[in-house]
């Protein structure tokens, strides 16, 4: 199966733009909430650590459906591609509604178990923010599922446009509800809810009316096909476990980081934000790989799958290299204008530059080919490698260096670089053996 460079750019550039804008808008969102006071900042930060975990589960479900629809499209089996898309929408709606009901019913004990005894004002803010954002779970799930369907059909421009408008609605809503009406965390939560409702409703309308290979004419006529749903789960569940363990790993590292000085914690937080931003364009390319490799596998073109993983991984390396240079350059004005105290600023600059010297070479092969391997059905291997390296390398090294040897935040990034490097070697070996091509999903 052949994709021209023009077709690849048409697919990938909107994905890159969408991931970068989502990151920038998320940063703007966080900055605006800070004006509501320390209690509001704490509440949003704590609850969002739960929300990210939940949303990642929905994203994993969407990945399962997208891979299957891509493979059916590669086989030119449009009937089963549409049927799989319908089952994805049905199953993701059901699971997200159950998740919402569970979070609404048990949000207070969940917060107490996860975060212990909180200040009463912070707890009250947490309960309000969690209640309203939990109501948005079905809408973000439906958007993720529908966007994945469009991308599997090589239409990434529409989800990008909808996501961009949704982010603008969210930021504008924050500005009005927080700054004008002084609604604090309730205002932040309501703007999130409204933006996600807009995203879900809009993309579902387009999924019903857009003239493309995958269409769902009537949502009310969808009936469960448990065989098709089980195939989606076979891919979605391992990916969801992988995403969930990744978040738990981050929380485990954060518990050790919390033992450091205030300036070290501030420096680590700033480096983490800049490091997260620098890989967004490469992640967009990774999302595009799933569509390309899924269609190659569906068409029975194993050599094409190998070729495009190599090609797009190289493109991701170039994107990450450029992003790393940019981030290394802007770290100086960022620390200056954010008015970081001198010790924290110096540490931030040193760590940011050090991380982004290593990152283009260690990060790409640890993440990008895995998107292609998942699209071929090699999800259990990807899950196992990610979980093992996360806890035996990233978490273990960071915790030992900080708690036993008195290291500062540099321990986090030594552990991170070790994880990236080892994972790169493992995925490179897996890619070369071609064992990932032996799966039969359809």
pLDDT along the chain (442 residues), means of 10: 92 94 79 76 82 85 92 94 96 95 94 83 92 96 95 94 95 93 92 96 92 89 94 91 85 85 87 91 95 95 96 97 96 86 93 96 96 95 96 96 95 97 97 94 82
Cα dihedral angle (427, 433, 435, 437), rounded to 10 degrees? Answer: 90
pLDDT at 373: 96
pLDDT at 138: 96
pLDDT at 127: 95
Of the candidates 442, 62, 100, the residue with the CA atom closest to the CA atom of residue 233:
62
pLDDT at 347: 95
Of the candidates 51, 53, 57, the residue with the CA atom closest to the CA atom of residue 29:
51
Please give the model's pTM, rounded to 2 decimal places.
0.90
d(CA 95, CA 206): 23
d(CA 328, CA 350): 9
d(CA 28, CA 395): 29
Note the pLDDT tens digit of each residue in 154-179: 999 999 999 999 999 999 999 999 99
Cβ–Cβ < 8 Å for 185, 40: yes
Q: Which token pair is 224?
A: 């469960």
Instruction: Give me the residue spans of the domains in the chain.
Output: 7-224, 236-442
d(CA 160, CA 156): 6
Of the candidates 12, 19, 43, the residue with the CA atom closest to the CA atom of residue 30:
43
Q: Where are the alpha helices (DSSP H) in 261-378?
A: 262-278, 280-298, 302-337, 342-375
pLDDT at 209: 85
Rg for the chain (alpha carbons), in Å? 22
pLDDT at 43: 84
d(CA 401, CA 357): 22
Note the pLDDT tens digit of each residue in 17-55: 999 988 888 777 767 876 777 788 778 878 887 888 888
3-state SS, one letter per residue, for 102-121: HHHHHHHHHHHHHHCCCCHH
Q: How many CB atoms lie within 10 A of CB 208?
A: 13
User: What is the CA 84 to chain-centroid distance, rounded?
Assistant: 23
Note the pLDDT tens digit of each residue in 379-408: 999 999 999 999 999 999 999 999 999 999
d(CA 352, CA 47): 27
d(CA 140, CA 131): 15
Residue-level length of the chain: 442
Of the candidates 57, 231, 274, the residue with the CA atom closest to the CA atom of residue 145:
57
CA distances from 179 to 69, 94, 145, 238, 379 (A): 44, 36, 33, 42, 45
Cβ–Cβ < 8 Å for 284, 17: yes
Cβ–Cβ < 8 Å for 241, 383: yes
Of the candidates 265, 91, 103, 268, the residue with the CA atom closest to the CA atom of residue 189:
103
């Amino acid at each position: 199966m052949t994709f021209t460079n023009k077709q690849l750019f048409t697919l990938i550039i909107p994905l890159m733009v969408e991931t970068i804008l989502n990151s920038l808008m998320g940063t703007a969102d966080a900055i605006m909430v800070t004006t509501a006071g320390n209690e509001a900042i704490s509440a949003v930060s704590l609850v969002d650590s739960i929300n990210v975990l939940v949303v990642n589960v929905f994203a994993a479900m969407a990945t399962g459906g997208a891979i299957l629809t891509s493979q059916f499209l590669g086989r030119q089996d449009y009937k089963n591609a549409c049927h799989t898309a319908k089952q994805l929408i049905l199953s993701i709606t059901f699971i997200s509604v159950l998740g919402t009901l569970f979070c609404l019913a048990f949000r207070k004990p969940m917060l107490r178990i996860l975060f212990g005894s909180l200040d009463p004002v912070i707890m009250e803010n947490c309960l309000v923010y969690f209640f309203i954002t939990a109501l948005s779970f079905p809408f973000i799930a439906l958007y993720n599922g529908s966007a994945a369907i469009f991308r599997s059909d090589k239409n990434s421009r529409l989800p990008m446009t909808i996501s961009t408008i949704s982010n603008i609605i969210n930021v504008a809503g924050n500005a009005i509800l927080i700054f004008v009406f002084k609604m604090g965390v309730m205002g932040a939560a309501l703007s999130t809810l409204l933006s996600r409702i807009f995203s879900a409703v809009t993309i579902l309308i387009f999924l019903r009316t857009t003239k493309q290979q995958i269409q769902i004419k009537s949502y009310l006529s969808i009936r469960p096909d448990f065989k098709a749903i089980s195939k989606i789960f076979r891919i979605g569940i391992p990916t969801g476990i992988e995403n969930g363990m990744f978040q738990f790993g981050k929380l485990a590292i954060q518990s050790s980081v919390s033992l450091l000085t205030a300036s070290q914690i501030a420096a680590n937080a700033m480096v983490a934000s800049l490091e997260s931003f620098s890989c967004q364009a490469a992640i967009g390319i990774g999302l595009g790989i799933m569509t390309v490799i899924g269609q190659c596998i569906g068409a029975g073109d194993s050599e094409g799958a190998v070729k495009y993983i190599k090609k797009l991984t190289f493109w991701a390396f170039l994107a990450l290299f450029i992003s790393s240079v940019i981030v290394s350059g802007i770290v100086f004005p960022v620390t200056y204008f954010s008015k970081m105290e001198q010790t924290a600023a110096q540490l931030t600059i040193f760590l940011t530059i050090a991380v982004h010297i290593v990152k283009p070479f260690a990060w790409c092969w640890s993440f990008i080919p895995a998107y292609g391997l998942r699209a071929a059905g090699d999800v259990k291997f990807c899950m196992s490698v990610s979980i093992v390296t996360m806890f035996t390398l990233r978490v273990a090294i960071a915790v030992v260096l900080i708690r036993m040897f008195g290291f500062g935040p540099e321990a986090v990034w030594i552990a991170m670089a070790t994880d990236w490097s080892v994972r790169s070697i493992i995925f490179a070996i897996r890619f070369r053996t071609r064992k990932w091509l032996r799966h039969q999903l359809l």
